[in-house]
């Protein structure tokens, strides 16, 4: 977590006003190691509980498989702010633009930038936590034909390389080859399944960023994306996209 002031033996890591936080500086990495050691020290008080993941940037915490007694013990630990049980959730809305007021008169989609150009999200990298991705969708092609329509091959390249600040990756998995699935538009994709458990994945789903039903949030998006997906794909209807020409 970015520190505004120094902790004994560690330099402050919070970015200067107007600057982007860099989690890979020597100071940030040192503080990350410090936080993780503190987490493991807390875990050691209840025995060797299986750790699923550790968090150190936006949140200082961890996920682990605990017995009720271990969870109760942690909740009484003075070094623990909160203990929360994992929950299986389903999507709450498929009309996010309406919910956020993006499509209403005066909403961001009707506004223009300083040059009088309609706001579309150019040159932005959009991170999306979703239920899966179908990279064969034209929404993720980075080439267009002579009429500007997305094409899987041929045509001309519509997007340059990802920005130099991009530090993500495109991971491999079931029916998901990064060399084929990711490109200059779909610049990253990851999946996380440890919390849910591989054994709980439906038979028609993939142990990869791929979506089992081929319908997901970005399906009608012509943007540029970095995709982060869960282990289950449950989307079953057309869902709004939030950016037109950003990357994913």
pLDDT tens per residue, range 64-119: 999 999 999 999 999 999 999 988 777 666 667 777 787 788 887 788 777 777 76
Is pLDDT at 220 greater than 60 in this prediction? no
In whole angstroms, give the CA distance from residue 134 to residue 149. 18
pLDDT at 205 over 80: yes
Within 10 angstroms of residue 172's Cβ, the number of other Cβ atoms is: 13
Residue ending a domain, choose from 51, 86, 121? 86
Domain that holds residue 163: 89-248
Same domain, 69 and 146: no
**23 φ/ψ angles, rounded to the nearest 5 degrees:** -80, 0
* Confidence (pLDDT) at 215: 45
Which of 115 and 149 is assigned the larger pLDDT?
Answer: 149
Instruction: Return the structure tokens found at 9.
Output: 């033996």
Are 190 and 81 found together in one domain? Answer: no
Mean pLDDT value across the chain: 79
Residues 209 and 107 in one domain: yes
Domain C-terminal end among 86, 120, 154: 86
Residues 172 and 245 both lie in one domain: yes
Residues 65 and 124 in one domain: no
Same domain flag for 120 and 243: yes
Non-local CB neighbours of 10 within 8 Å, separated by 6+ positions: 3, 27, 30, 31, 34
Same domain, 79 and 166: no
Asked whether 52 and 64 are in contact (CB, 8 A), the reply is yes
Q: Which of 86, 110, 145 is the last residue of a domain?
A: 86
Cβ 210 vs Cβ 133: under 8 Å: yes
Residue with tokens 């993780």: 36
Query: What Cα–Cα distance (Å) separates residue 133 from each residue in 154, 179, 182, 209, 229?
Result: 23, 15, 11, 6, 8
pLDDT-above-90 percentage for the chain: 31
| 32: three-class secondary structure by DSSP | helix
């Amino acid at each position: 977590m970015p520190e505004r002031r120094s902790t004994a033996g560690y330099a402050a890591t919070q970015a200067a006003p107007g600057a982007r936080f860099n989690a890979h500086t020597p100071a940030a990495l040192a503080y990350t190691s410090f936080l993780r050691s503190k987490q493991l020290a807390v875990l050691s008080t209840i025995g060797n509980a299986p750790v699923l993941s550790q968090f150190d940037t936006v949140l200082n915490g961890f996920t682990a498989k605990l017995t009720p007694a271990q969870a109760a013990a942690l909740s009484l630990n003075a070094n623990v702010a909160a203990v929360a049980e994992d929950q299986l959730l389903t999507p709450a809305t498929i009309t996010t633009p309406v919910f956020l007021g993006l499509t209403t008169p005066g909403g961001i989609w009707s506004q223009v930038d300083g040059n009088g150009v309609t706001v579309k999200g150019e040159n932005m990298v959009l991170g999306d936590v979703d239920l899966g991705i179908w990279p064969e969708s034209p929404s993720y092609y980075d080439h267009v034909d002579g009429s500007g329509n997305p094409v899987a091959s041929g045509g001309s390249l519509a997007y340059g390389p990802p920005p130099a600040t991009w530090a993500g990756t495109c991971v491999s998995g079931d029916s998901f080859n990064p060399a084929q699935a990711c490109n200059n538009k779909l610049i990253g994709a990851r999946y996380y399944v440890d919390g849910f458990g591989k054994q709980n994945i439906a038979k028609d789903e993939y142990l990869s960023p791929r979506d089992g039903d081929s319908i997901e949030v970005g399906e009608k998006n012509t943007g540029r994306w970095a995709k982060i997906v869960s282990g289950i794909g449950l989307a079953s209807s057309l869902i709004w996209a939030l950016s037109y020409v950003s990357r994913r």
